[in-house]
């Protein structure tokens, strides 16, 4: 594991430091895609979103909330570990008071790069045009309602935690799903990283002083990719994890370029705390000794052709691309522990480093679930 790795996709949590004395920041504003979306895509699309129908949301909320999981996301577990309420989706609306302690701008399907980038390359049918730059504009539109002057905004933003991601996965997912070659998609990586870096620069110019930037998940362990590339030769798979090596190498390349970009930004802005989230290794901790099981993930969860597994707590994948509440709990525990540099406990000494009974990143609880299985299975039993 890279020593410089910092884990904090978790920092989507809102802080109520002034009111509760438990948080470390007065507010948090997060940007990203489906792994962090707490309802924006559902608000945009209504009933057309699968995340607006059961069984999505069944485990914890007992009704769909727009989260792409059976229950809570990593952001939810981190908020709860800090003794805070769950973060609200920005598109849910409300007045300034509703967002004074933060807002979630993440939208399922969002890309780091603007849609025109993909259209110019013949890549179409993107599920969202709410790219990172669009989400930044939403924040810019919201900010005047939260602070009234330059000095007021400077004071307000100095106590805000920004999470720039998890984003970038869809910049690769859409072309992979449209059968573009890995060689072509690899040329997108510098541009994706540059878009993330530009977003950070904009936030810094607006007054941001603390932010976390998550890297890529291990793509080669993703159920939908294991299904798409199931014809791979045996040597393409990691014998310990069952993940596809070349896809994980692709994710690692993204992460290395991102770390280099963050190092450049730190040198340019020494007054800003910029943390890297090692989501890759936090997730890989679950794959220590997985069964060699790769279930069909081509039928969307919630469709008529699917039936839910009896116990989502035993699976890592809820649908082809999104993890179960059980997996999110484990990853959040890791992010609260050893996958953050500096440790979150350094800034949040009162944070609960055990997430709902799952230990913080030591992997002891990971054996309770089966990494290669999807919870939502097609009706033919695959």
Tell me which of 344 and 141 has the higher pLDDT.
Answer: 141
Which of 15-24, 101-110, 256-265, 332-341 shows the lowest per-residue confidence on average (mean pLDDT)? 15-24
Q: Is the pLDDT of residue 122 over 50?
A: yes
> Catalytic pick from 37, 171, 278, 319?
319
Q: What band does 36 get if pLDDT is binned at 50, 70 and 90? A: very high
| pLDDT tens-place string over residues 211-222 | 888 899 999 999
> What percentage of the chain has pLDDT greater than the value 90?
49
Is the separation of the CB atoms in 211 and 347 below 8 Å?
A: no
SS (H, E, C) the chain: CCCCCCCCHHHHCCCCHHHHCCCCCCEEEEECCCCCCCCHHHHHHHHHCHHHCCCCCCCCCCCCCCCCCCCCCHHHHHHHHCCCCCCCEHHHCCCHHHHCCEEECCCCCCCCCCHHHHHCCCCCCCCCCCCHHHHHHHHHHHHHHCCCCHHHHHHHHCCEEEEECCCCHHHHHHHHHCCCCHHHHHCCHHHHHHHHHHHHHHHHHHCCCEEEEECCCCHHHCHHHHHHCCCCCHHHECCCCCCEHHHHHHHHHHHHHHHHHHHHHHHHCCCCEEEEECHHHHHHHHHCCCCCCCCCCCCCCCCCCEEECCCHHHEEECCCCCECHHHHHHHHHHHHCCCCCCCHHHHCCCCCCCECCECCCCCCCHHHCEEEEECEEECCCC
Is the separation of the CB atoms in 369 and 286 below 8 Å?
A: yes
Token pair of 348, please?
Answer: 């949040």
Q: 141: alpha, beta or left, given left = phi > 0 and alpha = psi -120 to 50?
A: alpha
> Catalytic pick from 15, 30, 34, 49?
34
Q: Is 322 a catalytic residue?
A: yes
Greatest Cα pair distance in the chain: 62
pLDDT at 211: 86
Q: Is the pLDDT of residue 207 over 50?
A: yes
Token pair of 380, please?
Answer: 């033919």
Which residue is it, tokens 């707590």? 313
Q: CA–CA separation, 244 vs 221, rounded Å?
A: 7
pLDDT at 356: 54
| pLDDT tens-place string over residues 41-62 | 999 998 778 899 999 999 999 9
Q: Is 254 a catalytic residue?
A: no
| pLDDT tens-place string over residues 175-188 | 999 999 999 999 99
Is the separation of the CB atoms in 174 and 124 below 8 Å?
A: no
> Catalytic pick from 171, 277, 322, 360?
322
pLDDT at 17: 32
Kindly calculate the radius of gyration of the chain based on its CA atoms and give it in whole angstroms: 19
Q: What is the pTM of this model?
A: 0.84
Please classify residue 2 by burial: count the beta carbons closer than 10 Å to its beta carbon, then call 0-12 exposed, 13-18 middle and 19+ buried. middle
Half-sphere exposure of 354 (CA within 13 A, CB side): 6
Q: CA–CA separation, 100 vs 98, rounded Å?
A: 6
Q: Is 289 a catalytic residue?
A: no
Q: CA–CA separation, 238 vs 89, rounded Å?
A: 38
| Mean pLDDT in residue range 344-361 | 58
How remote is the C-alpha of 78 from its chain's centroid?
12
Q: Is the pLDDT of residue 164 over 50?
A: yes
């Amino acid at each position: 594991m890279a020593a410089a790795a910092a884990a904090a996709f978790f920092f989507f949590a809102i802080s109520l430091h002034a009111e509760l004395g438990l948080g470390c920041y007065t507010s948090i504003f997060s940007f990203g895609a489906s792994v962090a979306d707490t309802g924006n895509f559902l608000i945009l699309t209504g009933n057309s979103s699968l995340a607006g129908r059961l069984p999505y949301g069944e485990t914890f909320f007992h009704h769909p909330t727009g989260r792409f999981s059976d229950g809570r996301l990593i952001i939810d577990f981190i908020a709860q570990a800090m003794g805070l309420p769950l973060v609200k989706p920005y598109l849910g609306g409300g007045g300034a008071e509703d967002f004074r302690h933060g807002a979630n701008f993440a939208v399922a399907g969002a890309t780091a790069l603007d849609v025109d980038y993909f259209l110019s390359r013949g890549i179409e049918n993107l599920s969202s045009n709410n790219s990172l730059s669009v989400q930044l504009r939403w924040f810019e539109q919201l900010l005047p309602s939260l602070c009234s002057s330059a000095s007021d905004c400077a004071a307000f933003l100095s106590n805000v935690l920004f999470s720039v991601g998890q984003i970038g996965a869809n910049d690769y997912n859409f072309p992979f799903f449209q059968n573009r070659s890995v060689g072509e998609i690899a040329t997108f990586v510098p541009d994706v990283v540059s878009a993330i870096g530009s977003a950070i620069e904009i936030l810094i110019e607006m007054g941001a002083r603390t932010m976390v930037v998550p890297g890529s998940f291990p793509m080669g362990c993703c159920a939908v990719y294991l299904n798409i590339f199931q014809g791979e030769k045996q040597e393409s798979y990691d014998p310990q994890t069952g993940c596809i090596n070349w896809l994980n190498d692709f994710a690692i390349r993204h992460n290395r370029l991102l770390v280099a970009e963050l190092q450049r930004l730190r040198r340019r802005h020494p007054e800003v705390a910029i943390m890297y989230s090692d989501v890759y290794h936090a997730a890989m901790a679950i794959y220590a000794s997985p069964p060699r099981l790769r279930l069909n993930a081509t039928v969307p969860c919630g469709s008529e052709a699917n039936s839910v597994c009896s116990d989502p707590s035993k699976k890592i994948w809820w649908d082809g691309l999104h993890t179960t509440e059980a997996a999110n709990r484990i990853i959040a525990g890791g992010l609260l522990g050893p996958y953050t540099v500096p440790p979150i406990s350094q800034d949040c000494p009162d944070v609960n480093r055990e997430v709902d009974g799952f230990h913080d990143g030591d992997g002891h609880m990971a054996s309770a679930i089966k990494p290669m299985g999807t919870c939502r299975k097609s009706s033919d039993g695959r």
